[in-house]
């Protein structure tokens, strides 16, 4: 392992580099020394490739030769540092910049100079945003279009290469480097549902490739494809990126493992080449919508063929290279192991220079294999990537030789041309997975429909049998009732006939008696015989009448029974017809099931055939065959793409900005008062995302969004709502006008109550961030402390989570800085409010925290508190004096060290205490 120390940050530049410089990006012009060939076609191609618009560069997925594109070079001047301001005070800068002409003058002496022309000339006042837009943004846009891209920084040690590329910008958002800004643009232009982004972070140290994300992986081999010559690192760790915070954490972790050492030229000099590889995989849609669909055998298009078109995938790679600085041993003072490191760095940079010289001179042999650095950058110089190079120089005349060497390196690099290619391929694996899922869904749906149909048939059959049984029972009951009724009526009729017969018989007897008295005695025998004859006749007539009545009643009963039997037969016939109909339906469903199974079998066969054709096509492409073998496959793919897009509806979810435009802010804010908890959660998340953009904050506040968010903090008991609402308030609190509105609506009291009730670290982090933003307002100091803001911050220390503690430390540092400024201006007298609220013990305790963000903010707070003599005695009694001494000697930030040293030397109380302690020792 190297003797150099690990580094936790990049090189420090003057505050001038952080100034925002408003400038419109224009297309860089090639210098006279590095112009492309004079032919019109070549000139047109170079102008087209150098325009920074990747969409205008034609490319194909069928192995075309690509489009020429020259390496674009920008030069950036570092401002004088503190040492140069003293040592070179009587000497003029060795360089003169003419940014409007894109030229640089390098002075040989007071009367002679040389002029060089670059694609862009960046002065010492150029902002990080300006550097990114000029150097890296065209490359990032090309990567998003599917091209490979490289951004590289070259220059003498201490000229700001790591500041330009790898600055994280945690303290100052404007100081973010190219790596952070490039990932922000990539994440903003990709969708996590269809695209994937992954990174590898490596360092080349002493001709050994080491993994900065997994330090134990310290000997990674380079593998070259024998057919294409592409270089890959299969042993490197690849991490999937989902959000910007995750990426910044990876960069911080990688920078902590990178080798650095203290030299005469740079207090924190990089001793290795850092290489960040960003792999972007994007799914391209809507390219084959107009192609004809695939017909089926029966003439109708099958909805199941909608997914046979595989998605087109574009794979690209962005490589950001932070080269170690070139140095002269006599100037850097390297010795021992540092000397060996310097030799290795200079050898690799020399090998890179030789390759660029060979490419610039169109040499038949380019020595890429002389160094691992040149092997890794084979695609960046003379390859297929779009490359931008920023060369960094210093103004000091003492280093004129190194500056001239750096300028000449950039001039030679401008003569190198790359053949930019676009790489597209079909994602067959995704297609197979999607078709398997669709087939499983269709089988499951068919089984569910068949089961439902069988259940329905069984229900209808059971219902029919139940109705038939019920009809039979009703028929038997009706028949029995009719039989009983007719029997009763028959018995009653018999009784009536018998009664009439007795009455007639009695009447006949009375007549006979009267006739017998009237007639003479001699006719007595005749009368008796006649009476007997009449009686028999009456009996016979009565019997006939009775028989006739019975026959009539029986006939009526038989007719009724026949009509009922006919009715039930009709019912039975209708039931039989319904059963026959149901059986026909069963047969139809069985036939449909058979057809579906046949269709699934056909689809499986077509899928198998598609896979075979895809393999043949892939082999044909790999062997350099013509595009004719793609004809059948393209037909199937086009139909599937058309159907897939038709079935996919509206595609991926609209972005938050799109939702904001379509729905409207008022409607989104109204959902914060919804009775449905899920609706409130989704609404507050949308508002929080909108509040993260500075352009939306004023609209949210004007529409009453701030009041609604504070109301959610007051009344909601849902932890998710409180956490997201606090985060949204924290975003709004970054604006000074919003800070006063938050205080006016008792926002600090609500945040304090939320901090006291919450246990979730993420909720506490959001609340602490909001309070920390409010602490940075000079006009709100007294009111914020009066409403419990400081005590709320100190109360959140109980959580112990590093992120929460970092926000607490930031809030205390902001409060201390505002207090210090107010005391200096005469607006505040007396002891610090932080000390009165008991914050000093925690500040002293956290000054040696292992977490860099906590330690940095606490060190800054101690320095601001110590600037005023009224706080000195309290700080001495709490042990803060020794922490100030340590900060003035060991702090990693030069500005904080300087502030601590100035405070110690200017305070009579501190000086007296230090002298007393020295005497006692």
- Binding annotation for ATP: 155-162
Cα torsion for 80, 81, 86, 92, to the nearest 10°?
-10
Closest CA to 420 of 165, 154, 48: 48
Bridge partner list, 209: 204
Please tell me the distance from the alpha carbon of residue 159 to that of residue 129, in angstroms, as a whole number.
18
Residue-level length of the chain: 921
Classify each residue of 268-296 as buried b or exposed e, where b means 16 or more C-beta atoms within 10 Å of its C-beta. Answer: bbbbbbbbbbbbbbbbebeebeebebbee
Contacts of 513 (CB under 8 A, 6+ apart): none
Provide the H-helix boundaries in 361-427: 372-376, 400-413
Nearest to 793 by CA among 843, 739, 864, 828: 843
d(CA 470, CA 479): 14
Helix (H, G, I), strand (E, B), or coil: what is residue 201?
strand
Cα(400)–Cα(404) distance, rounded to whole angstroms? 6
**Separation of alpha carbons 3 and 337, rounded Å:** 7
**Residue (of 202, 199, 171) closest to 187 by Cα position:** 199
Phi, psi of 743, rounded to the nearest 5 degrees: -65, -40
Distance of CA 39 to the CA centre of its chain: 47
- Straight-line distance from the first to the last Cα atom of the chain, in angstroms, rounded to the nearest whole number: 40
* C-beta of residue 314 within 8 angstroms of C-beta of residue 281: yes
**Binding-site residues, please?**
155-162
* Three-state secondary-structure class, residue 436: helix
d(CA 204, CA 432) in angstroms, rounded, equals 40
Cα–Cα distance between 295 and 307 in angstroms, integer? 14
158 three-class SS: coil
Per-position DSSP letters for 868-887, written without gaps between them: SGGGHHHHHHTTHHHHHHHH
Q: What is the DSSP string of 281-348?
A: EEEE-SSSTTSPPPP-TTSS--GGGTT-SPPEEEEEEEEEEEPPPB--HHHH---THHHHHHHHHHHH
Q: Are 418 and 384 in contact (CB under 8 A)?
A: yes
State how far the Cα of 123 lies from the Cα of 19, in Å rounded to an integer.
Answer: 12
Distances (CA, A) of 689 to 46, 519, 656, 717, 729: 41, 136, 7, 21, 11
């Amino acid at each position: 392992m190297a003797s150099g120390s690990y580094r936790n940050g990049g090189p420090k530049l003057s505050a001038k580099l952080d100034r925002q410089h408003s400038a419109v990006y224009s297309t860089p012009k090639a210098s006279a020394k590095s112009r492309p060939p004079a032919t019109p076609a070549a000139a047109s191609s170079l102008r087209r490739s150098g325009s920074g618009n990747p969409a205008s560069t034609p490319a194909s997925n069928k192995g075309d030769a690509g489009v020429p594109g020259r390496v674009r070079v920008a030069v950036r001047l570092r401002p004088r540092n503190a040492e140069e301001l003293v040592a070179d005070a009587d000497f003029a800068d060795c360089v003169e910049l003419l940014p409007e002409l894109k030229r640089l003058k390098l002075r040989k002496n007071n009367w002679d100079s040389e002029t060089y022309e670059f694609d862009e000339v960046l002065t010492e006042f150029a902002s990080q945003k300006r550097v990114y837009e000029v150097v890296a943004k065209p490359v990032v846009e090309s990567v998003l279009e599917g091209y490979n891209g490289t951004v590289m920084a070259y220059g003498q040690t201490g000229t700001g290469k790591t500041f330009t590329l790898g600055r994280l910008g945690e303290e100052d958002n404007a100081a973010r480097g190219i790596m952070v800004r490039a990932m922000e643009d990539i994440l903003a232009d990709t969708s996590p549902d269809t695209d994937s982004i992954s990174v590898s972070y490596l360092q080349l140290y002493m001709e050994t490739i080491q993994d900065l994300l997994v330090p134990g992986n310290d000997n990674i081999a380079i593998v070259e494809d024998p057919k294409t010559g592409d270089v890959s690192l299969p042993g490197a760790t690849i991490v999937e990126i989902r959000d910007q915070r995750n990426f910044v954490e990876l960069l911080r972790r990688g920078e902590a493992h990178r080798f650095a050492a203290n030299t005469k030229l740079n207090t924190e000099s990089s001793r290795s080449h850092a290489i960040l590889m960003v792999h972007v995989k994007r799914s391209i849609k809507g390219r084959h919508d107009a192609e004809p669909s695939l017909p089926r055998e029966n003439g109708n298009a099958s909805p199941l063929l909608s997914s046979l078109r595989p998605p087109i995938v574009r794979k690209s790679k962005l490589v950001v290279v932070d080269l170690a600085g070139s140095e002269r041993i006599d100037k850097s003072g390297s010795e021992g192991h540092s000397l060996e490191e310097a030799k290795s760095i200079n050898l690799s940079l020399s090998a890179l220079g030789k390759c660029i010289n060979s490419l610039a001179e169109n040499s038949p042999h380019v020595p890429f294999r002389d160094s691992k650095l040149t092997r890794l950058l084979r695609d960046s110089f003379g390859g297929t990537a779009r490359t931008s190079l920023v060369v960094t120089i210093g103004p000091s005349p003492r280093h004129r030789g190194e500056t001239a060497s750096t300028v000449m390196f950039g001039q030679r690099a401008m003569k190198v041309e790359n053949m930019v290619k676009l790489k597209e391929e079909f994602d067959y694996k995704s297609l197979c997975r999607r078709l398997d899922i669709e087939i499983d869904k269709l089988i499951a749906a068919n089984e569910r429909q068949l089961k439902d149909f069988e259940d329905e048939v069984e229900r209808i059959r059971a219902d029919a049998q139940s109705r038939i049984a019920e009809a039979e029972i009703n028929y038997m009951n009706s028949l029995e009732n009719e039989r009983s009724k007719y029997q009763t009526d028959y018995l009653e009729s018999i009784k009536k006939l018998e009664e009439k017969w007795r009455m007639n018989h009695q009447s006949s007897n009375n007549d006979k008696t009267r006739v017998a008295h009237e007639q003479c005695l001699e006719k007595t025998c005749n009368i008796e015989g006649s009476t007997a004859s009449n009686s028999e006749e009456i009996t016979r007539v009565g019997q006939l009448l009775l028989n006739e009545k019975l026959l009539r009643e029986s006939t009526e009963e038989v007719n009724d029974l026949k009509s009922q039997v006919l009715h039930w037969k009709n019912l039975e016939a209708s039931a039989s017809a319904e059963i026959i109909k149901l059986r026909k339906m069963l047969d139809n469903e069985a036939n449909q099931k058979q057809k579906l199974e046949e269709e699934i079998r056909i689809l499986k066969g077509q899928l198998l055939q598609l896979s075979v054709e895809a393999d043949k096509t892939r082999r044909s492409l790999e062997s350099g065959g013509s595009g004719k073998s793609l004809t059948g496959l393209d037909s199937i793919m086009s139909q599937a793409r058309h159907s897939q897009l038709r079935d996919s509806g509206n595609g991926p979810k609209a972005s938050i900005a799109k939702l904001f435009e379509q729905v409207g802010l008022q409607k989104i804010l109204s959902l914060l008062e919804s009775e449905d908890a899920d609706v409130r959660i989704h609404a507050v998340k949308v508002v929080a995302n909108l509040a993260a953009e500075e352009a939306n904050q004023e609209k949210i506040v004007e529409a009453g969004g701030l009041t609604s968010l504070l109301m959610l903090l007051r009344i909601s008991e849902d932890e998710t709502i409180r956490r997201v609402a606090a985060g949204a308030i924290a975003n709004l609190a970054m604006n000074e006008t919003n800070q006063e509105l938050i205080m006016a609506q008792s926002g600090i009291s609500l945040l304090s109550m939320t901090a006291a009730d919450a246990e979730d670290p993420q909720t506490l982090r959001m609340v602490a961030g909001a309070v920390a933003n409010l602490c940075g307002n000079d006009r709100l100091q007294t009111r914020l402390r009066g409403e419990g803001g400081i005590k709320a911050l100190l109360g959140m220390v109980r959580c112990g989570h590093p992120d929460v503690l970092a926000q607490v430390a930031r809030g205390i540092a902001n409060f201390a800085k505002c207090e210090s400024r107010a005391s200096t201006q005469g607006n505040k007298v007396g002891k610090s409010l932080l000390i009165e609220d008991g914050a000093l013990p925690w500040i002293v305790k956290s000054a040696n925290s292992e977490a860099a963000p906590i330690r940095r903010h606490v060190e800054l707070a101690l320095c601001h508190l110590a600037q005023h003599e009224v706080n000195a005695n309290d700080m001495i009694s709490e042990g803060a004096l020794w922490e100030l001494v340590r900060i003035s000697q060991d702090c990693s930030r030069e500005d904080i060290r300087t502030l601590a040293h100035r405070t110690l030397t200017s305070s009579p109380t501190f000086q007296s205490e230090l002298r007393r302690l020295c005497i006692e020792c």
